[in-house]
Amino acid sequence: MACIFCQIAQKQIPTNLVFEDEQIVAFSDLHPVAPAHLLIVPKKHIDSLADLLEKDKALMGEMIWRAKVLAEEKGIAKTGYKLIFNCGQDGGQVISHIHLHLLGGEKIKCIV
């Protein structure tokens, strides 16, 4: 079975992209847990954080930078937002393709 995030990045599954460049796509989460809930997804398939290689460092930096810019565009940067990477099943990762959650628009519960 093909990866749903790869299919979205390749535009095989229609999605309202809020951002796209050569490396990354960003779109609203289908099951939001906050008023603003975006997913920032690399076009390159990487299963999880545990599978990152040293050559992926710049891509991870781009994902975090894009989250910051999107938070500003969504108007949630001044009040605050949360960035979350889930890693593996025990870490809450549901889809085996690395992705960054951008959550904001309300006070987000802190779990640590």
Q: Is 31 a catalytic residue?
A: no
Catalytic residue among 31, 37, 45, 99: 99
Q: Report the half-sphere exposure of 50 (CA within 13 A, side-chain side).
A: 9
3-class SS letters over 21-50: CCCEEEEECCCCCCCEEEEEEECCCCCCHH
Instruction: Return the active site residues.
Output: 99
